Amino acid sequence: MSAAALTGAGISVGSGIADFRSPGGVWTVFAPDEYATLDVFLRHPAKAWQLYREIGKSLIGKKPNCAHEVLADLETSGLLKGLVTQNVDNLHQAAGSRNVLEIHGDHQHLQCLKCGQVTPVAEEHYLMSAVPSCGRCSYPYKPNVVLFGEPVRHFDCIEELLAGCDLLLVIGTSAGVYPAAGLPALVKDRGGLVYEFNREPALAAGGCGRPPLVDFFFRGDLAETLPMFGRAVLGR
């Protein structure tokens, strides 16, 4: 069996990173349509950077947890071909995963939309009060993340990955944001299986004559359910 994974904010909660949409998350303080659109960045970069600083500071010092490590182990064993993540925290790579497709970009680099310069981010960028600017052309830097109004990343590679898999692990995501939310149905339509790992069911039950999207649901804390699944699959 060839497997892939789709991960969301829930997998990083165990690392101390709050879900953006949960009570107290950044979206409750910074409304996405007021701070997280491409238009806002282009017109008011200082305002947009209020949000970027908050997210960046929340990632400082964070480490992968056992759920990230299970996916890295599954990839090393050859059972997991790759993963698609909606997260921008780089924790999958820190855990050892190699084939990681970051559909919403990452918070580890800054990009200049004027000259194309890309540079690694430093803690000081998120701690300084001024808007960081490009060393080449002085245009305001933007974190290398996908803002509302920008296309998602790597979608051709994602479709190629899923076309070759017959099992999709959906982990820690509410599956409410497209196009990532449509990936489980893409696998099901090709005859594959979908296993969901969440505290509560999130995926749609099918409808309109379609079979349920989820073939098996693992309810509970990802720090417990995913390692249990990994031990069973890897025979440890």
Cite the active site residues.
104
Q: With both helix axes pointing from N to C terminus, report the angle between 66-76 and 222-234 in degrees, rounded to the nearest 10.
A: 20
Widest CA span in the chain:
56
Task: State how far the Cα of 50 lies from the Cα of 154, in Å rounded to an integer.
Answer: 27
User: How big is the chain by its Cα radius of gyration, in Å?
Assistant: 18
Judged by DSSP in three states, 116 sits in coil
Nearest partner of 141 among 161, 162, 167, 122, judged by Cα: 122
Q: Please, what is the end-to-end C-alpha distance for the chain in angstroms?
A: 18
In angstroms, what CA-CA distances link 174 with 70, 98, 111, 201, 214?
A: 20, 24, 29, 8, 13
